[in-house]
């Protein structure tokens, strides 16, 4: 039941505009998130002891921070101009409770790896399906020079697709079958990102893809595996980057022109408007340093949010809100770095299975992409928050499995099992 609910949740988050109730985007997703949160927390209570202590501590710290943000957001309704909009910040944090405990609990089951892989497959399938709809211009995904797909804004579509790219790449390098199909999926998601017209997320997506393949190449070099693949990748990297820029120029000339203007030092209208938003938002935060203007409040008639995660929380929830979101981001970034470094330093001893290692790298880059994109874009809105929490939950689950998994002697097929704390004590009996 929990796994099915998570799969339905993954499907629904790609269509927030089509899953609305009472005119509110993403309502169905939020209802599914509430259900997953209730069932996931209950399941985690019985299975969570099998999660490795470091990941369990991180999960508790993140959810405690999210709970404090929810409390501040609810309190801000007392002085906010539009109290109902405070629920936007609440919805964004609820997805953490819906995904981290649930995915962690699923990962500790005997078939945990297969179950987690199904969730990754669902994310990949939905990113490819959404990208194809955008490229073909079907339904609400019609394209002019900016396409929002089934989101409210093109930037939200860009965030979702840039978060999906590393998962597709990770699956591509870990499977032996269907590699041509997965290569086509990777190209399709990249084309969807181009069609979205979001310059920031195009750069984030392509850079994140390059980062993933660089980490994977390092992983192979450390283990002295597949040297020809590494050499081919180094040669192909600049060619692929040039091809991506050419595709952007051919399919979205406006986005290419504005991006080149920014890279050459020119001032694009979008950057000027963002700088103005940041300045206004900081002034509002300074005017209300202790409580902010209220969670989810728009910037007058100018914009619905500040287009920067930290500035948005400072403006809406004051210094306490900015402090909490900073703590959350620091915890996540430290965990990302430690997970990647630990994975790369395996030194070829086959301590971990390759598939789990590579998925750690892929989910880490997904989470990183979201954090970077939110310094210029959606400010942790409820429509895109799942694309932060789901990759982070996957990373926590894969990292915990990576620590406790034991490869079988048959190298052709790698199986996993959870090692409970007491198992080590009784292994000699």
Mean pLDDT, 10 residues at a time, over the chain (429 residues)?
A: 86 76 59 84 68 83 94 92 87 92 86 89 93 79 69 86 90 84 88 81 86 88 72 68 68 63 58 79 90 87 84 93 95 94 69 78 94 83 90 92 56 36 38
The answer to whether 176 touches 184, Cβ cutoff 8 Å, is no
Kindly state whether residue 422 falls inside one of the protein's structural domains. no
β-strand partners of 21: 24
In a domain, 41, yes or no: yes
158 occurs within a structural domain: yes
pTM value is 0.85
Cβ burial of 411 (10 Å; 0-12, 13-18, 19+) is: exposed
Q: Does residue 418 belong to any structural domain of this protein?
A: no
Distance CA 28, CA 16 (A): 8
Give the sign of the dihedral formed by CA 66, CA 67, CA 68, CA 69. Answer: positive
Give φ, ψ of 128 to 5 degrees.
Answer: -70, -45
Is there a contact between 59 and 100 (Cβ–Cβ < 8 Å)? yes
What integer pLDDT is reported at residue 168 of this predicted model?
A: 92
Tell how far CA 106 is from the center of its chain: 19
User: Does a structural domain hold residue 415?
Assistant: no
Residue 121 has a CB neighbour count (10 Å cut-off) of 14
Cβ count within 10 A of residue 413: 7
Q: Which of 183, 203, 191 is nearest to 134 (CA)?
A: 191
Rounded distance between C-alpha atoms, residue 107 and residue 329, angstroms: 24
Looking at residue 259, its pLDDT comes to 62
pLDDT of amino acid 329: 96
Q: Is residue 222 part of a domain?
A: yes
pLDDT at 205: 87
Q: Which structural domain range is residue 338 located in?
A: 2-406
Q: Residue 411 falls within a domain, yes or no?
A: no
Dist. CA 312–CA 298, nearest whole Å: 10
Q: Quote the pLDDT of residue 417.
A: 37
Contact (CB, 8 A) for 25 and 1: no
Quote the CA–CA distance of 257 and 249 in Å, as a whole number. 8
Residue 423 lies in a domain: no
Measured between alpha carbons, how far is 154 from 159 in angstroms, rounded to an integer? 9
8 Å CB contact between 163 and 387: yes
C-beta of residue 379 within 8 angstroms of C-beta of residue 156: no
Count of structural domains, the chain: 1
Number of residues in the chain? 429
- pLDDT at residue 269, rounded to an integer: 55
Residue 81 neighbours by CB under 8 Å, 6+ apart? 293, 294, 297
């Amino acid at each position: 039941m929990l796994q099915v609910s998570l799969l339905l949740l993954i499907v629904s988050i790609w269509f927030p505009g089509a899953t609305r109730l009472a005119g509110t985007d993403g309502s169905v997703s939020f209802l599914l998130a509430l259900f997953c949160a209730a069932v996931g927390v209950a399941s985690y209570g019985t299975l969570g002891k099998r999660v490795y202590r470091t990941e369990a501590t991180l999960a508790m710290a993140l959810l405690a921070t999210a709970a404090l943000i929810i409390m501040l957001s609810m309190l801000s309704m007392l002085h906010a101009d539009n109290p109902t909009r405070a629920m936007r910040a609440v919805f964004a944090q609820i997805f953490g409770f819906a995904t981290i405990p649930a995915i962690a609990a699923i990962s500790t089951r005997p078939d945990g790896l297969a179950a987690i892989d199904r969730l990754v497959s669902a994310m990949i399938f939905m990113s490819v399906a959404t990208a194809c709809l955008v490229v073909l211009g079907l339904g609400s995904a019609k394209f002019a020079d900016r396409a929002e797909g089934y989101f409210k804004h093109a930037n939200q579509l860009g965030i979702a697709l840039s978060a999906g790219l590393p998962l597709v790449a990770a699956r591509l390098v870990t499977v032996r079958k269907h590699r041509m199909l997965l290569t086509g999926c990777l190209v399709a998601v990249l084309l969807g990102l181009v069609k979205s017209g979001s310059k920031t997320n195009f750069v984030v997506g392509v850079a994140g893809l390059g980062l993933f393949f660089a980490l994977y190449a390092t992983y192979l070099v450390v283990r002295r595996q597949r040297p020809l693949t590494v050499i081919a990748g180094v040669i192909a990297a600049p060619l692929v980057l040039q091809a991506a820029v050419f595709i952007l120029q051919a399919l979205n000339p406006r986005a290419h022109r504005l991006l080149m203007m920014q890279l050459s030092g020119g001032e694009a209208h979008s950057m000027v408007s963002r700088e103005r938003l940041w300045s206004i938002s900081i002034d509002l935060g300074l005017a209300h340093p202790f409580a902010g203007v209220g969670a989810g409040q728009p910037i007058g008639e100018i914009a619905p949010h500040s287009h920067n995660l930290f500035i948005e929380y400072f403006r809406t929830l004051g210094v306490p809100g900015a402090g909490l979101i900073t703590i959350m981001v620091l915890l996540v970034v430290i965990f990302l770095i430690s997970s990647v470094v630990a994975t790369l330093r395996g030194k070829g001893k086959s301590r971990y299975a390759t598939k789990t290692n590579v998925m750690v790298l892929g989910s880490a880059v997904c989470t990183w992409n979201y954090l970077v994109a939110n310094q210029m874009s959606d400010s942790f809105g409820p429509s895109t928050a799942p694309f932060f929490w789901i990759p982070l939950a996957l990373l926590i689950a894969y990292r915990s499995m990576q620590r406790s998994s034991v490869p079988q002697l048959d190298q052709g097929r790698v199986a996993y099992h959870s090692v409970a704390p007491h198992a080590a004590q009784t292994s000699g009996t």
